[in-house]
Amino acid sequence: MLSFNAKAKCAGCVFIILLIVSSALWIGCGREQGSSDFIIGDEPTLGIFTYSLFGLDFIDKKKGWAVGKLGGVVHTEDGGQNWWAQKSGIDFHLYDVKFIDAQNGWAVGNIGSIIHTSDTGNNWEIQKSGTEEVLMGVDFIDGKRGWAVGFFATTLKTDNGGKTWVLQEKIRAVLEPKKGLFLPTLLDIAFVDENNGWAVGFPGIILHTRDGGENWDLKESGTSVVLNSVCFIDALNGWISGNGGTILHTEDGGQNWAAQDSGVESDLLKVGFTDLKNGWIVSYGSILHSNNGGQSWIAQESEAGHWFYNIAFADENNGWAVGDFGIIFHTLDAGNKWSVQTAKISSG
DSSP, residue by residue, 27-94:
HHTT--BTB-TTS--SS--EEE--S-EEEEEESSSS-EEEEEGGG-EEEESSTTSSEEEE--S--S-E
The tens digit of pLDDT for each residue in 209-240 reads 999 999 999 999 999 999 999 999 999 999 99
pLDDT at 26: 31
pLDDT at 346: 62
Does the pLDDT value for residue 87 go beyond 50?
Answer: yes
Does the pLDDT value for residue 14 go beyond 50?
Answer: no
Pick the more confident residue, 199 or 30.
199
Secondary structure of residue 200 in the 3-state scheme: strand
Interatomic CA distance for residues 190 and 147, integer angstroms: 9
Q: Which of 23-27, 264-268, 310-314 has the lowest mean pLDDT?
A: 23-27
- Evaluate whether 87 touches 94 at the Cβ level (below 8 Å): no
Q: Which residues pair with 205 in a beta bridge?
A: 201
Question: Is residue 329 within a helix (H) or strand (E), and if so which, with residue range?
Answer: strand 328-331
Q: Taking residues 257-279, what's their average pLDDT?
A: 97
Does the pLDDT value for residue 348 go beyond 50?
Answer: no
Structural domains in the chain, CATH included, are 17-346 (2.130.10.10)
Question: For the chain, what is the mean pLDDT?
Answer: 87
Would you place residue 48 in the very low, low, confident or very high pLDDT band (cuts 50, 70, 90)?
Answer: confident
Interatomic CA distance for residues 118 and 341, integer angstroms: 26
The tens digit of pLDDT for each residue in 164-207 reads 999 998 998 999 888 887 889 999 999 999 999 999 999 999 99
